[in-house]
Structure 1
Amino acid sequence: MNFELSPEIADLRQEVRVFVEDRIIPNEARIVAEDREKRRTTLDKLQAAARAEGLWVPHLPAAYGGRGLGIMGMCALFREMGRSPVGAKVFNCDAPNQGNMDLLLSAGSDAMREKYLRPLAAGEITSAFCMTEPAPGAGADPSNLKTRAVKDGSSWVIHGHKWYSTGGGDAAFLIVMARTSDDPKTGATMFVVDRQAEGIEHVRDIPTMSEPLLDHREAEFKFHGVRVGEDAVLKGVGEGFRLAQQRLVPARLTHCMRWLGLADRTLAMCKQYLVSRESFGKKLAQHQMVQLKIAEHALGIHSGNLMTYHCAAMLERGLAQEARPYSSMAKLHVARLLCAVLDDAIQLHGGLGYSEDLPFSTWYRYARSARIADGPDEVHEVVIARDFFTRGLELLV
């Protein structure tokens, strides 16, 4: 095993770190304030700067304006971007667009890539991924998929109800998961659907415990007989469940990368406070209970980093199926870690941490979704246990 980054990736990582620290973090509050007013002046300027410095969509091939980095390179860069909740958006690497780009790149037709991927990579449009449904539809259990697409001549007609389609309200297109048969393995198909297609009802953006920010507005849709052509089918009829796994395993990792960046920044902010604040006759950093919390979270961040690297290395070697339980381990661990780090950051700062003078409470509300999105904790625990009991999961790799 080699844990050293290549000189190219190491240099790029440093460039992204400096960009985030010097340009994005000082402008976070301005970007949030402008977003509330439906303006993106500061964000647009930062995106233009990222593009000019060759840091735009680095995960994509050069043909789409990127650097052609593998997933290991993404690990290094996405952690730095994740140090700010608006960081990934500046580099056009935010969810759900980044995952949709990768899916179109690997499974889309040439026409799809030209019509949707190219402007998405250029930042001219946004997208959404429509898989989750209100009960009794698909949530943690994809086999509950209720949205259905029926063949009608040379067209498909989609009926269904989706929610938590992040960014769907302003998206130019949707990737919609629908049932096309009752086969448990090949019964689902993905369709690339124009957001303005007749029959799409944007019901609302769901109010959540986290304030909407940039593309992170959770749209609810109803599909009333939405008609699409055969050319809207992604990869092929019956490929939906397989494509969902193809998208979700690396998507979990990219979430982990961004969450680790925010956890690391949070712990660094705690350090600044703990070494300066005095209580009961000594610095907070000198109290053993405080040291215990810091040690636990330092251990957790380092462990999550190694889990993410290990799983990413498996994906780079083409071991996507084998990597699935390890991606569940990483996602479960890092999602819990981020919530725990932020919860303790609030506690360690006392009244200051609970106030809005620091961003921890805002970040915590955002972070709490991490333990539900892309599979709740309990599903990942089941995956890990199942593979341990039935598939000989290797723990000492």
Structure 2
Amino acid sequence: MDFDYSPKTKELQARLQRFMDEYIYPNEATYWSELEANTQAGKRWSHLHFLDALKDKAKEQGLWNLFLPKDTAEIAGVDGAGLTNQEYAPLAEIMGRVGWASEVFNCAAPDTGNMETIARYGTKEHHERWLKPLLNGDIRSAFAMTEPEVASSDATNICTRIERQGDEYIINGHKWWISGAGDPRCAVYITMGKSDPEAPKHSQQSMVLVAADTPGVRVVRPLSVMGYDDAPHGHMEMYFENVRVPASNILLGEGRGFEIAQGRLGPGRIHHCMRLIGKAERALELMCKRASSRVAFGKTIAQQTVTQERIAEARCRIDMARLLTLKAAWMMDTVGNKVARTEIAMIKVVAPKLACDVIDWAIQVHGGGGMSQDFPLAFDYAHARTLRFADGPDEVHRNAIAKWELGKYGTYGKNADVPITRGS
């Protein structure tokens, strides 16, 4: 593995960093002030319009759809950055330093995974109706998988029913933690459910496209994440009640839901983990600056041994996590997601825990301010903590890693699947 970034990546890194410095960091306060204004006007779940101007600038500067692989762009018939996972990873890290920045470049979850899914497994009709508007940033999307009645860490438990009736599918189910469903621009749900309860275990599930305005789709409430409701994006509880969609809305075919999920979640985990590393890197930066400027008990907080230990530990762990994530990305590019399954599972365990720890240490150095809206740390911690569930709980990935490792010394775990669990 070559540890250096390609010239193309380095050039994009410089351009992206310049954009962040000129337009993203100076507008962090704008984001929260416009959201507060919408809240006071009773329009909390409204689009933040200042983002539109930033998106136009990102398009003008060629920093749009950076996540889009070349093969997927060709399938969709659009221009894309054509980056490998390894080339895109450091760009995702830069964007991840500010929670809402990815949207400015049309690289936000869950849209990135949904766009790749529709491109790879959808029809030309799906491309025209959903994919192109998503790639243009005209609409947004959601991935409807997780359910409150079952342990969704085992996706075979998913019990939403998708039943064929003539030329339609009828969908009935109860979902929650549906990321992006609160956004007023959310126009389509990729919905996972059980189409054949009698089929083999991993052939019972299917995925179908559901237009957000279809009768019977009912969004109940936003779910708060440690006190944040993440408006206007939102993580919603919702029902599908006798929702009828054309049979042509099925993706790839009945019983192919797990197959689709395998293809969707690998790249998504890379994106999540690199964004988390970006959050951890920024938290370390803020921690060092704060520690150097605050005095307690006659010396700066930076001179306190406990602070120095945490800064050193953060530096070591961030770099280790980055290298592990880049290795996973490189393996996905060179030998495919299935062979890279152990590395993908490992980064999913390592990156969220790293981010939580480093952000927590940064909060501690900031004192009471770290818990407030004056710094991004509290919000970033809440987001990082959710990602120990999203794309699969730590425990599921650890079990899979252990089984694959034990499989080297016997038969146990040789046929273990990559965990397919909730993903955003």
TM beyond 0.5:
yes
Tell me what 1:117 maps to: 131
SS state of the match for residue 201, structure 2? Answer: coil
Higher-RCO chain (CA-CA 8 Å, sequence separation at least 6): 2
Query: SS where residue 198 of structure 1 aligns?
Result: coil
Per mean C-alpha deviation after superposition, the further-off stretch among 88-97 and 343-352 is 343-352
For residues 113-136 of structure 1, give each alpha carbon's deviation from its aligned partner in whole angstroms, at most 9, with x where no partner exists.
111010001010010000101122
2:194 aligned residue: 179
User: Do the aligned partners of 1:166 and 1:215 also contact (CA within 8 Å) in 2?
Assistant: no
Aligned pairs (5 A) from 1:37-52: 37=38, 38-52=46-60
The structure 2 residue matched to 1:58, chosen from 66, 84, 88, is 66
Deviation of 1:65 after TM superposition, in Å, equals 4.1
Match of 2:418 in 1: none
Q: What does residue range 82-93 of structure 1 map to in structure 2 within 5 Å?
A: 82-93=96-107
- The more displaced of 122-131 and 214-223 is 214-223
Distance 2:17 2:149 in 1: 42
- Hey, what's the Cα distance between the residues in 1 that align with 2:236 and 2:367? 35
Q: d(CA) in 2 for partners of 1:87 and 1:213? A: 14
Match of 2:94 in 1: 80
List 4+ stretches of structure 1 deviating above 4 A. Answer: none
The answer on 1:146 being equivalent to 2:163 is no
Q: 2:297 aligns with which of 271, 280, 299?
A: 280
Q: Is the 8 A contact 2:194 2:206 kept in 1?
A: yes
| Aligned position for 1:251 | 268
Q: Structure 1 residues 208 and 350 mapped into 2: Cα distance closer, same or farther (>3 Å)? A: closer
**Does the alignment pair 1:196 with 2:209?**
no
Amino acid at match of 1:141: D
Matches of 2:370 and 2:236 in 1, distance apart? 31
Aligned residue in 2 for 1:168: 181
**SS where residue 349 of structure 1 aligns?**
helix
**Is the 1:157–1:225 contact (alpha carbons within 8 Å) kept by the matching residues of 2?**
yes
Displacement of 1:214 after TM fit?
A: 5.1
Shift in Å, 1:345:
0.6
Aligned to 1:269: 286
- CA-CA distance at 1:188 after TM superposition: 0.7
User: TM-score with structure 2 length normalisation?
Assistant: 0.88
RMSD across aligned C-alpha pairs, in angstroms?
Answer: 1.9
SS at 1:18 equivalent: helix
Q: Distance in 1 between matches of 2:314 and 2:236?
A: 34
Q: Which runs of 5+ in 1 are unaligned?
A: none
Give aligned pairs, total.
393
What CA distance in whole angstroms lies between the structure 2 residues aligned with 1:33 and 1:375?
Answer: 34
Residues 47 and 232 in structure 2, CA contact (< 8 A), matched pair in contact too:
no
**Residue type of the partner of 2:402?**
A
Determine the C-alpha separation between the residues in 1 that align with 2:233 and 2:389.
15
Q: Distance in 1 between matches of 2:217 and 2:54?
A: 33
By how many angstroms is 1:385 displaced? 1.0
Q: Partner of 1:201: helix, strand, or coil? A: strand
Separation of aligned partners in 2, 1:118 and 1:228: 20
Residue 152 of structure 2 aligns with an amino acid whose one-letter code is G
Report if the CA contact (8 A) 2:164-2:247 is conserved: no
Contact 2:177–2:235 (CA under 8 A) maintained in structure 1: yes
Establish whether residue 158 from structure 1 lines up as the match of residue 182 from structure 2.
no
CA displacement, residues 283-328 of structure 1 (integer Å, 9 cap, x when unaligned): 3323322111011111111111111111111111242112222111
Query: CA shift at 1:39, angstroms?
Result: 4.7
Structure 1 pair 287–207 and aligned structure 2 pair: CA distance change class (3 A) = closer
Q: Measure the CA separation in 2 of the matches of 1:357 and 1:269.
A: 12
Report the 3-state secondary structure (helix = DSSP H, G, I; strand = E; otherwise coil) of the residue aligned with 2:24: helix
Secondary structure in structure 1 of the residue aligned to 2:143: strand
Does the alignment pair 1:329 with 2:346? yes
CA change 1:2–1:369 in 2 (3 A) is: same
Give the counterpart of 1:290 among 307, 311, 316. 307
Alignment of 1:33 with 2:36, yes or no, is no
In 2, the alpha carbon distance for the partners of 1:19 and 1:391 equals 47
Q: Which one of the candidate residues 310, 325, 335 is aligned to 1:308? A: 325
Instruction: Answer yes or no: is the 8 Å Cα contact 1:32–1:213 preserved in 2.
Output: no
For residues 126-176 of structure 1, the C-alpha deviation after alignment (integer angstroms, 9 at most, x for no partner) is 10000101122x511101110111111222111111111111133101100
**Percent identical:** 37
Q: Look up the equivalent residue of 1:245 and give its one-letter code.
A: Q
Structure 2 Cα separation of the partners of residues 314 and 72 of structure 1: 9
Deviations 1:27-66 (A, max 9, x none): 0121122234135232111111101100011122374343
Partner of 2:109: 95
The whole-number CA distance in structure 2 between the counterparts of 1:39 and 1:248 is 27
Match of 1:5 in 2: 5
Q: Is 1:368 the equivalent of 2:385?
A: yes
Q: Distance in 2 between matches of 1:32 and 1:224?
A: 35
Runs (5+) with no aligned partner, structure 2: 39-45, 414-424
